[in-house]
């Protein structure tokens, strides 16, 4: 299994992975829109035996009080149903964190499974005083510093890229 940046040839396969994992095309469409509008757009695929079996994306978020903070949002991420819980997601997140760090991102946020993301270092964003535009339970919106201290004084509202549709 190999984790690598997407290429143009992966676009249809990335759509298929997202549709299969989420059982609708909303996330696939978001990925396509992010590809057009987000900068940076970090998009990695997991390839197994020549097939794309997983995908992860990161894109810039905005911070209401500190627009200068370089924060990326994780998502969507997806692994084909038949291979979920076999470690592919873990590889995608690990490589994704590396990639975001190398791009100079100071921190990440994610809106997702509270049982899943803490293993990578995410904690509830509320610990940094960071709120989500979405009305979600506290533990579902998480943040993680990639550079120590980046979120030390980061209380405020964080919004995902507009293509996510806002809250
Ligand atoms: C969530 C998802 C991307 C995780 O990828 P994955 O390859 O299945 O995850 P991994 O195999 O790396 O899982 C590692 C661990 O997390 C656990 N885990 C996986 N998915 C989980 C979930 N949805 N909730 C809680 N724990 C989960 C696994 O049981 C495993 O635990 P273990 O290490 O104790 O055995 C994948 O399950 C998926 O595509 N789900 C449907 C789409 C989705 O929900 N995307 C994320 C939106 S936030």
Taking only Cα atoms into account, the Rg of the chain, rounded to an integer number of angstroms, comes to 15
Distance CA 83, CA 123 (A): 26
Domain boundaries, the chain: 2-164
Distance CA 73, CA 87 (A): 21
What is the value of pTM for the model shown? 0.96
Edge to edge, the sheet with strand 141-145 lists: 2-5, 42-48, 51-60, 71-79, 107-111, 141-145, 123-124
Q: Give the pairing of strands 71-79 and 107-111.
A: parallel
Whether the CB of 89 sits within 6 Å of ligand 1: yes
What's 2-164's CATH class? alpha beta
- Locate 3 and state its tokens: 């984790």
Q: For residue 76, say if its preceding peptide bond is cis, omega within 30 degrees of 0.
A: yes
For 33-47, write each residue's pLDDT tens digit: 999 999 999 999 999
Confidence of residue 166 (pLDDT cuts 50, 70, 90): confident
For 133-151, write each residue's pLDDT tens digit: 999 999 999 999 999 999 9
Whether the CB of 115 sits within 6 Å of ligand 1: yes
68 CA distance to ligand 1 centroid (A)?
32
């Amino acid at each position: 299994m190999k984790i690598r940046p997407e290429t143009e040839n992966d676009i249809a396969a990335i759509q298929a992975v997202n549709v299969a994992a989420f059982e609708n095309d909303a996330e696939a469409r978001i990925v396509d829109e992010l590809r057009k509008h987000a900068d940076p757009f970090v998009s990695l695929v997991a390839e197994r035996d020549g097939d794309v079996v997983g995908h992860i994306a990161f894109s810039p978020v905005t911070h209401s009080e500190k627009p200068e903070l370089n924060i990326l949002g994780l998502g969507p991420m997806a692994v084909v149903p038949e291979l979920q819980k076999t470690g592919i997601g873990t590889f995608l997140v690990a490589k994704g964190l590396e990639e975001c760090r190398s791009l100079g991102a100071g921190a990440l946020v994610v809106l997702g499974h509270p049982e899943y993301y803490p293993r990578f270092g995410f904690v509830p964003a509320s610990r940094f005083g960071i709120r989500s535009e979405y009305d979600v339970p506290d533990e579902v919106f998480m943040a993680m510093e990639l550079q120590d201290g980046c979120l030390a004084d980061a209380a405020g509202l964080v919004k995902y890229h507009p293509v996510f549709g806002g809250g």
